[in-house]
Amino acid sequence: MSAAIDFELRSEIEHFLYHEAGLLDQGRLGEWLGLFTDDATYWIPLQADQTDPLSTSSIVYDDRRLLEVRVRQFQHPRAHARVPMPRTVHQVGNMQIVDADARGVHVSSSLVLVEYRRERQRVWGARVEHRLRRTGDGLRIAAKRIDLVNSEAELDGIVCLF
């Protein structure tokens, strides 16, 4: 890959990841959901270095349909576990292109998420992998994996989206 193409691709991906983070922070979950392909997966493994979401337990493993349900539940006015809604700041960094071809790109990044809710602030740290696919509407998320640094700890309920 030439330096110019690499810079252009990196810039496009960074813009995409920052846009995704902004949608989450602004509570624009319908638009955030629109970033996912119809066959997308959203995975938060329970264990470090977990390789298969189907043969072991996960914190979250959603296909597109379950992710839609999660977003609807998150937005429901009587979702007591999420009232009040958390305020968040997603800080995306250390983005690296792992692999790229004409169909898409595999990206690794770090995430620091600050969540504030009910007079309590929590900080989440994670390594995130995106498998992005090129579509007629631009890049879309075909798979998102969030490896929380404290995934094996007592998490005391997760009320935000990563």
Q: What is the pLDDT of residues 118-144, one digit of tens each?
A: 899 999 999 999 999 999 999 999 999
Domains of the chain, by residue range, sit at 3-148
| pLDDT at residue 155, as a whole number | 82
Q: What tens digit of pLDDT does each residue of 29-79 get? A: 999 999 999 999 999 999 988 999 999 999 999 999 999 999 988 877 766
Q: Classify 74 as helix, strand or coil.
A: helix
59/97 Cα distance (integer angstroms): 26
Decide which of 113 and 3 is more confident. 113
Q: What percentage of the chain carries pLDDT values higher than 90?
A: 73
pTM of the predicted model, to two decimals? 0.92
Residue 3 has pLDDT above 70, yes or no: no
Summarised one tens digit per residue, pLDDT across range 69-93 is 999 888 777 666 666 788 999 999 9
Determine the pLDDT at residue 117.
87
Output the six-digit token pair for 146: 């969030």
Q: How far apart are CA 71 and CA 66, in angstroms?
A: 9
End-to-end CA distance of the chain: 31
Which stretches does DSSP call E strand in the chain?
Answer: 36-45, 58-63, 87-100, 104-117, 120-135, 138-148
d(CA 113, CA 92): 9
CATH number of 3-148: 3.10.450.50
pLDDT tops 90 at residue 96? yes
Sign of the Cα pseudo-torsion (55, 56, 61, 65, in order) = positive
At residue 53, the pLDDT reads: 94
Place of tokens 């998320």: 141
Mean pLDDT of 142-157: 92
